[in-house]
Amino acid sequence: MLNNNKNTGIKITGTGRYLPDKILSNLDLEAMVDTTDEWIRTRTGIEQRHIATDDQPTSFLGAGAAMQALEAAKLNPAEIELIIVATISPDKIFPNTACFVQKKIGAKNAVCFSVEAACSGFVYIMAIGSAMIESGLFKNAILIGAEKLSSIINWNDRSTCVLFGDGAGAVVLERTLSTEENMHIYSKLGSDGNHSDILHVPGGGSCQPFSQTVLDKKLHFLAMSGQEVFKLAVTTMAAAAKETLEKSGISIDDIKWLIPHQANTRIITAVAKRLNIDEKKVYVNLANYGNTSGATIPIALDELVRGGLINKGDYLLFVAFGGGLTWGANLIRW
Ligand code: UT7
């Protein structure tokens, strides 16, 4: 997806993140399920994850990240025209979580909706939000990846509970009329519903509404075929990143930071190898947060921005995959 409207573009004017205070370490997990710190570290790269408390729903985390991003952009909440939240752990089945964020931050003039593209959620809303601004429909937006995955995890299932964490990241996008300032170079999105059952929450939706059976069989928790997801993650992310580079005429050597979805360091290493990118340019913070699904990329971006590790003109490549399957990439020039 290229910006064909040459008169308008987007710039990222603020970033933010919110991680709940409570930390669950691998050692804590050893006391909960049959696992070891060594297994988790060597198979995934994760050392700890943040966990939200009962009174911190997804919108609370999202609002925290959004307020930081607004402050960085020097905008008042009332000036925001659009809020998009990427999440698979919404506050409620409906209304959409962006409406709850709107209420919490007081963005009374915003149009609000959520996107359910799992771990690819942020890459999806980056493409959607950019297109909505580039088209002239809105002059600014807050894009938020926010997850309270701890609420859909079976804490007795060692094959999934060690992998995920809670958190949120946000960016403020604003319209620019200057081609010099336009940051959005290209977005590639993909989906394949044929693999919808390898990473999903089987029960509690309209397919199998919530019932005692759903509860007894624990179908309201996330279920995953780890190895299948692993293989598809590597192929789809590498292909999306390659196509994005090719279509925009940018070489992998031009990329300052590859910011991949953070699910497993072995997946990230395999993707980096296929792209032939220097591993020093691949941003990895998985050890601290685990997999926060749609929040991983905006959290990583905010760390890089606040750490002073991105300079004007740098090319950033976001790439992700997730349940659906969904996958995608965004190329940004800072
Ligand atoms: O964002 C998208 C979401 N998901 C992902 O990206 C996940 C993609 N998949 C993965 O990252 C990996 O497949 C996992 C980390 C989930 C699993 O790693 P793996 O190397 O594929 O392990 P495996 O599933 O083949 O399991 C190997 C062994 C099994 O034991 P046996 O059958 O060899 O005796 C598992 O029962 O490891 C066992 N195992 C564990 N052992 C200790 C599985 N989970 C654990 C655990 N602690 N937490």
Do 168 and 285 lie in one domain? The reply is no
Could you say which of 127, 157, 181 is where a domain stops? 181
Question: What is the CB < 6 Å shell around ligand 1?
Answer: 35, 39, 43-44, 119, 158-159, 162, 199, 224, 226-227, 229-230, 233, 263-264, 291, 322
Residue 1 in domain: no
Do 210 and 263 lie in one domain? The reply is yes
Closest ligand 1 atom, CA of 266? 11
Do 86 and 165 lie in one domain? The reply is yes
Could you say which of 181, 198, 214 is where a domain stops? 181
Do 111 and 39 lie in one domain? The reply is yes
- The CATH number of residue 66's host domain is 3.40.47.10
Q: Looking at ligand 1, which residue's alpha carbon is closest to its atom 8? A: 230
Question: What φ, ψ does residue 250 adopt, rounded to 5°?
Answer: -110, 135
Helix/strand/coil for 37: helix
Residue 295, Cβ neighbours under 10 Å: how many?
Answer: 36
Do 259 and 276 lie in one domain? The reply is yes
Do 227 and 169 lie in one domain? The reply is no
Residue 2 in domain: no
Residue 219 in domain: yes
Residue 4 in domain: no
The identity of residue 34, as a single letter, is D
**pLDDT at position 1:** 65
**pLDDT at position 178:** 86
Do 240 and 170 lie in one domain? The reply is no
Q: Is 207 one of the annotated active-site residues of the chain?
A: no
Domain of residue 52, residue span: 9-181
Q: What is the pLDDT of residues 307-317, one digit of tens each?
A: 999 999 999 99
Do 246 and 214 lie in one domain? The reply is yes
Q: Looking at ligand 1, which residue's alpha carbon is closest to its atom 39? A: 159
Kindly state the greatest CA–CA separation across the chain: 58
Q: How many domains does the chain have?
A: 2
- One of 119, 182, 184, 200 is an active-site residue; which one? 119
Q: What is the pLDDT of residues 175-202, one digit of tens each?
A: 999 888 999 999 999 999 999 999 999 9
Do 22 and 95 lie in one domain? The reply is yes
Low-confidence ranges of the chain (pLDDT < 70): 1-6
Q: Distances from the Cα of 205 to the Cαs of 14, 121, 145, 202, 210, in angstroms?
A: 35, 19, 22, 8, 7
Q: Is 119 one of the annotated active-site residues of the chain?
A: yes
Q: Is 291 one of the annotated active-site residues of the chain?
A: yes
Do 25 and 168 lie in one domain? The reply is yes
Do 94 and 34 lie in one domain? The reply is yes
- One of 261, 264, 288, 330 is an active-site residue; which one? 261
Do 294 and 212 lie in one domain? The reply is yes
Closest ligand 1 atom, CA of 35? 47
Residue 159 in domain: yes
Could you say which of 127, 156, 181 is where a domain stops? 181
Is-contact 269 245, C-beta < 8 A?
A: no
